[in-house]
C-alpha cells in the first residue's frame, strides 16, 4: 500500500523558513515523480512544485519560484520542500502527492496523496 | 498563470447526470492531453478521478468520465449518488512547464 506522510509544518513568522518532509513507502521511490500541492484556507488547490523520479528536473509555480526548493533523497525515500522568505499568503495545508506513471516523468496525474501538513505564516 | 475557470457550483438529483466544465486557454487545456480531475472532500486528501483527459484510474467508478473540446475540458458524472457530493478540481499542464488547477466546483446532490 502506498503511503505518504508529511511532517515539518507549523507556525513561522513572515520572512522565516521551514522545511517540509514527506516520507514515502509502498512503491519504488525513484521510479515516480512527486509533487507538492497546497490548499489555502477557504480557497482551492494550488500546484506548488514537482520533481522527476531521479531528481534530474524540478518545476515550480511562479508564486514560489526563487523562494522554495524541492528535493528528494532516495536513500531515505523522502521528499522535501525547503520554504524560505515565507509570506502570509503561503499559509496553507501542504500535500505531497505521487504521479500515477512509473516512468519517472511528471504529468500532473497524482494518484496518491498524503494527509497534509499545515503551515501558518504569521507574526 | 491564472487558474482555470470552473463553475462555482453544480447540482443534480440522485440518478441524474451532471457536467463540470474547465475552461483554459491555448497555452494549457487547449494544447495538451495532460488534463486531470480531482475529487476533494473537506478534511481529506484529494482523489484522482480522471487523468490524461479521459483515462480512469483503477478503482474509480465508470460513472465518471472526461472529455475535451478546444480550450474546455469536462468531467461528466452519470448516475449521481450522494457520495459524489464534494469539491472537484481540474488541472492542466501549461506551456511554461508548470501545472495549474481550476477554481473548483462544489457538487451538491439534491
| pLDDT tens-digit readout, A73-106 | 999 999 999 999 999 999 999 999 999 998 989 9
Distance (Å, rounded) from C-alpha B53 to C-alpha B31?
A: 12
How far apart are the CA of A105 and the nearest CA of chain B, in angstroms?
Answer: 12
Write out pLDDT tens, residues B65-110. 999 999 999 999 999 999 999 999 999 999 998 999 999 999 999 9
Find, among B31, B33, B35, B24, the residue nearest to B75 by Cα: B35
Q: Which of B49, B98, B103 to mutate to test the interface with A (most CBs of A within 10 A)?
A: B98
Altogether, the residues listed in chain B come to a count of 110
Alpha carbon of B102: minimum distance to chain A alpha carbons (Å): 8
Are the C-beta atoms of A50 and A98 separated by less than 8 Å?
no
B110 touches chain A (CB under 8 A): no
**Predicted confidence (pLDDT) per residue in B29-74, tens digit:** 999 999 999 999 988 999 999 999 999 999 999 999 999 999 999 9
Q: Do A37 and B97 touch (CB under 8 A)?
A: no
Q: Is B38–A110 a contact, with Cβ atoms under 8 angstroms apart? A: yes
Give the alpha-carbon dihedral of B46, A35, A101, B60, to 10 degrees.
0
Nearest Cα neighbor of A81 from A71, A94, A92 is A71
- Residue B108 is inside which H or E element, if any? strand B105-109
Please tell me the number of Cα atoms within 13 Å of B56 on its side-chain side.
13
Taking the Cβ of residue B97 and every Cβ of chain A, the question of whether any pair is shorter than 8 Å is answered with yes
Amino acid at each position: 500500500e502506498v503511503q505518504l506522510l508529511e511532517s515539518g509544518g507549523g507556525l513561522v513568522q513572515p520572512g522565516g523558513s521551514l522545511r517540509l518532509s514527506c516520507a514515502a513507502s509502498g512503491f519504488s521511490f525513484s521510479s515516480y515523480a512527486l509533487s507538492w500541492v497546497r490548499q489555502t484556507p477557504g480557497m482551492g488547490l494550488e500546484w506548488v512544485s514537482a520533481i522527476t523520479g531521479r531528481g534530474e528536473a524540478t518545476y515550480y509555480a511562479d508564486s514560489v519560484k526563487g523562494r522554495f526548493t524541492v528535493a528528494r533523497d532516495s536513500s531515505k525515500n523522502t521528499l522535501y520542500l525547503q520554504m524560505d522568505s515565507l509570506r502570509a499568503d503561503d499559509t496553507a495545508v501542504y500535500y505531497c502527492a505521487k504521479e500515477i506513471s512509473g516512468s519517472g516523468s511528471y504529468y500532473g496525474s497524482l494518484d496518491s496523496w498524503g494527509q497534509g501538513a499545515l503551515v501558518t505564516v504569521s507574526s | 498563470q491564472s487558474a482555470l475557470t470552473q463553475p462555482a457550483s453544480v447540482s443534480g438529483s440522485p440518478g441524474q447526470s451532471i457536467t463540470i466544465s474547465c475552461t483554459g486557454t491555448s497555452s494549457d487545456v487547449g494544447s495538451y492531453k495532460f488534463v486531470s480531475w480531482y475529487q476533494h472532500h473537506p478534511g481529506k486528501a484529494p482523489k484522482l478521478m480522471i487523468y490524461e483527459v479521459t483515462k480512469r484510474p483503477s478503482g474509480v467508478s465508470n460513472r465518471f468520465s472526461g472529455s475535451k473540446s478546444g480550450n474546455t475540458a469536462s468531467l461528466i458524472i452519470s448516475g449521481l449518488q450522494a457520495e459524489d457530493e464534494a469539491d472537484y478540481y481540474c488541472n492542466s499542464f501549461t506551456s511554461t512547464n508548470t501545472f495549474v488547477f481550476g477554481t473548483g466546483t462544489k457538487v451538491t446532490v439534491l
